[in-house]
Amino acid sequence: MHAQEGVERDALTLATFNIWFDEYFATDRYLAIAELLARDMPDVMVFQEVTPAALDLFLAQPWIREHYRRAAVTGVELGNYGMLMLSRLPIDRVTYTPLPTRLARGFLTAEFTINGGALAICGVHLESGKASAGLRATQLSRVVRALDRADDAVVLGDFNVRDDENERIGPPFCDVWPALRPHDDGFTEDTSINLMRLDSKNKHRQVRFDRVLLKGAGWTAQSIELLGTEPISRAHPRVFPSDHFGVQCRLVRRSTAGGETIHRRRSLFRMPSLLMRRARQSGWLRR
């Protein structure tokens, strides 16, 4: 994929969904997720725990085939599952960066030209487990450092962070959920609602693993909501789209008094162009 012309947008809708790699009602759950997302057709979507079967199912959806570019990272070297990014916007550049990990984790970053300026959107899946808090901190610092030259950037996905790790998320990034909905917990794993999650682990949990972080002067967050908070059907009241809820966020263009958005176009990453060539050759970057 070659760099393409930029687009003009006054608003962007982004979504993240950890789709749960387990085979339990997998096809029905993935179809339910696709149906949820088809309602608004977010401009950019990122997915975690994407198995080869899940990838095939999503890419078989007519609305995705017709309207979205995709970058997918799956395979044996990544364990049981990987990541997928879908974009309605032209992608200038995309990179996958492995992280220090015991679970084959990494982050997938796409660079866009919107309203004449650069925007980086990064999908993450950080290490899981309470015992991995230190490793998560290292991973998050790597992600932030990779984006330090980006004036405007969004990081979204499954951070696996607990509340006692919140202080590790700070300026220049803003955690959108508490900024917009400070009186709403926004749990993305919540066994008081998600009976499938309760049944699978047989213990209660309420955590906000899945987040959207935003930095820069070009965009401001207008709204954020959870996805997949209801069973997939009346026939299966204890089956939900995933053990996580998805998160959807709407950004709006932030303008100066004269009506022009502030942007400075720079090279966002220190990644060599060789990585892009290898990505195209390997087949994980597709129109």
Count of CA atoms in the C-beta half-sphere (13 A) of 103: 16
Residue type at position 26: A
Residue 272 has pLDDT above 50, yes or no: no
Residue type at position 231: P
| pLDDT the model gives residue 131 | 86
List Cα–Cα distances, 226 to 47, 54, 273, in angstroms.
14, 21, 37
10 Å CB burial of residue 89 (0-12, 13-18, 19+) is buried
Q: Which of 140, 71, 74, 72 is nearest to 101 (CA)?
A: 140
Rounded average pLDDT over 195-211: 94
| Average pLDDT, rounded, for the chain | 88
Overall fold of domain 11-286: Deoxyribonuclease I; Chain A (3.60.10)
| pLDDT the model gives residue 183 | 97
Q: How many residues does the chain have?
A: 287
Residue 280 has pLDDT above 50, yes or no: no
Position 6 confidence tier, pLDDT thresholds 50, 70, 90? confident
3-state secondary structure of 246: strand
Beta strands in the chain (DSSP E): 11-18, 44-50, 69-73, 82-87, 93-98, 106-114, 117-125, 153-158, 174-175, 189-190, 206-207, 210-215, 219-227, 246-253, 285-286
Q: What one-character-per-residue DSSP string does 75-136 give?
A: SGGGTT-EEEEEESSPPSEEEEEE-S-SS--EEEEEEEEETTEEEEEEEEEPPPSGGGHHHH
Give the integer Cα–Cα distance in Å for 178 and 185.
8
| pLDDT the model gives residue 260 | 38
Residue with structure tokens 């996805």? 227
Q: What angle do CA 66, 72, 76 make, to 5 degrees?
A: 140
Give the integer Cα–Cα distance in Å for 231 and 212.
24
Q: Is the pTM of this model over 0.95?
A: no
